[in-house]
Amino acid sequence: MVLGYTLDLRSHPIRDLTFKGLQFSVSSDDPGFFNYTGVTLDYAYLTLAWELNIRDLKKITLNGIKYSSVSDEKKEHLEKNVFPPMWQQWINMVNTI
C-alpha cells in the first residue's frame, strides 16, 4: 500500500492464492526507510481486510519461522521454545480486552 501497488487490501490477490495453497508470511520491509518497526499494524490491516481468524493469524506467524532463512536448528528452537509462550501471552492479552 505504501508503494501504491495495492490501493485496497480487500482486493489483494494473496487471499485467493492462499486458497490455492500459496504460503506467505508478514514481515517488515525496509523499516529504516519507512521509519517504523514491527508488523502489528500490518497484521491489523490484514485481519480486517481479509477477515482473518485466529487460526489464520497463527498460521501466518508460524510461516514466518518456517520459511525464514535461519538454520533448521534455530527454526526448531523458535517453533518449540519461543513461539508457544509468546503466542499464549498474546492470546491471554487479547482475551482480557
List the chain domain ranges. Answer: 9-71
Q: Which residue has the cell 492470546?
A: 91
Residue 44: closest CA among 36, 52, 55:
52
- Give the tens place of pLDDT for each residue, 19-75: 899 999 988 777 677 777 788 888 998 999 999 999 999 999 999 999 999 999 999
Question: Is 80's pLDDT higher than 90?
Answer: yes
What single letter denotes the amino acid at residue 16?
A: D
For 53, the grid coordinates are 481468524
Contact 46, 52 (CB under 8 A): yes
At residue 83, does pLDDT exceed 80? yes
The residues, any chain, with a CB within 8 Å of residue 58's CB and separated by 6 or more, are 87
More confident position, 90 or 28: 90
The predicted model scores a pTM of 0.82
Helix, strand, or coil here: 96?
A: coil
